[in-house]
Amino acid sequence: MSQTIPDFSAAMTSGQTFQLSGRPAKATVLFFYPKDNTPGCTTENMAFRDLHDKFTAAGAEIYGISRDSLRSHENFKAKLGLPFELISDPDEAVCLAFNVMKMKKMYGKDVRGIERSTFVIDAKGQLVKEWRGVKVPGHVDEVLEFVANLG
């Protein structure tokens, strides 16, 4: 499934800019989630937080991405004590590059939003694994297992 991901940069928390090229990690984990401070997204971010040391030990860096503002991300990160940075994508450029914008049903209405998805990119910028339409329970464990077994 290996495909090259085009280089991109985006604003992220802690006043930093994410740049895909030149990431020193063996694996970069990008997880797209719909919205800060919503139940499923909070649970998912806490699961990545709780296993962060194991991801780091496996040579992986984790980044969460949503359309929320940097201000919202900074508050969400502080509230949950997240040890990783959150990428702000208000213009959906990164979301569109990864094709995660979908029509969804919310309270009986059609709404356009982020389909919960996770991507693992190796040190050469190759996409080596993707999960789409993610259900939160057990997902982060599955991602960690994949990253830990990455050559």
- pLDDT tens-digit profile of 10-63? 999 999 999 998 787 799 999 999 999 999 999 999 999 999 999 999 999 999
- pLDDT tens-digit profile of 56-86? 999 999 999 999 999 999 999 999 999 999 9
pLDDT at 105: 80
95 is catalytic: no
Query: For the chain, what are the domain ranges?
Result: 3-148
Active-site option among 29, 30, 41, 94: 41
Q: Is the predicted pLDDT of residue 1 greater than 70, yes or no?
A: no
- 17 forms beta bridges with 11
Q: Does domain 3-148 have CATH number 3.40.30.10?
A: yes
CB count within 10 Å of CB 8 equals 15
Q: Is the predicted pLDDT of residue 151 greater than 80, yes or no?
A: no
Q: Is 133 left (phi over 0), alpha (psi -120 to 50) or beta?
A: left
